[in-house]
Each structure stands twice: as structure tokens, then as C-alpha cells.
Amino acid sequence: MCAGGSHDQGVSAAYDLILDWHPKVVLRVDHRTARGEVVDYTLVLLLATSEGTETIRVYDSAHGYNEMHRYTSDAGKQSGVRFHSGSLGEGMRMAISNVERGFEEMIEGWRG
């Protein structure tokens, strides 16, 4: 943050976690913090296929709470469901952990 900048503006960070190389599976993490607390986040589980990059699952705080959207190969994005009742930071950390442990099952669910 620049000198004299407001601490209320928050800090944004974005990065990709490579979970598997073949097939290539990536968890894209984008979040914003203010005063050390997560105030907004989006996590997207992506799979590289011969047709392109497919979205498998999305976790986000777009509505102010921890929400998860499943995707399927034939029907696309499904309705969101709350997955954690705690803070956004707790929800984001839980979602990252869930994806790291269960991305293979999530991909199988996407395939149907």
C-alpha cells in the first residue's frame, strides 16, 4: 500500500493453485481483505479438456455469505447453496481445503 493510503481500501490478491498436471486442474483464487479480514472472494475450480477450459465448481461471497455452485457438463451452472455459516475468511479457507482434498470427486460429479 502506498504511503498515506487508506487502510480501509483493502488489499486484493489473485493466484492459481495447480492441483494436477494431467489433466490440468487449477484452483483460481481471488480475494480481497480489509483490516486483515476477508471481505470478498471467488474460487473457481477449472479443468483443461480437449474442448477448452471447463468450470467445475465455484465458491464465492457475491451475496455476502459463503456460497457454492456446482457445474455439470450437460447442464452447466447449478443453483448456489450456502456451504459454511461462519465468516467469509473461514468459508474461503474451508472451500480451498475441500477442493484440494476432493477435486477428483468434483470433476467426476461434473462429468455425471
pLDDT in tens, 50-79: 999 999 999 999 999 999 999 999 999 999
Q: Render 15-60 in DSSP notation, one character per residue.
A: EEEEEEETTEEEEEEEEEEETTEEEEEEEEEEEEETTEEEEEEEEE
Percent of the chain with pLDDT over 90: 88
Query: Measured between alpha carbons, how far is 74 from 58 in angstroms, rounded to an integer?
Result: 17
pLDDT in tens, 27-37: 999 999 999 99
- Residue 36 to residues 12, 29, 62, 88, 98, Cα–Cα distance (Å): 11, 17, 19, 12, 23
Helix (H) or strand (E) holding 98: helix 88-111
Helix (H) or strand (E) holding 7: none
pLDDT in tens, 11-28: 999 999 999 998 899 999
Whether 6 shows a pLDDT value over 80: the answer reads no
pLDDT in tens, 80-107: 999 999 999 999 999 999 999 999 999 9
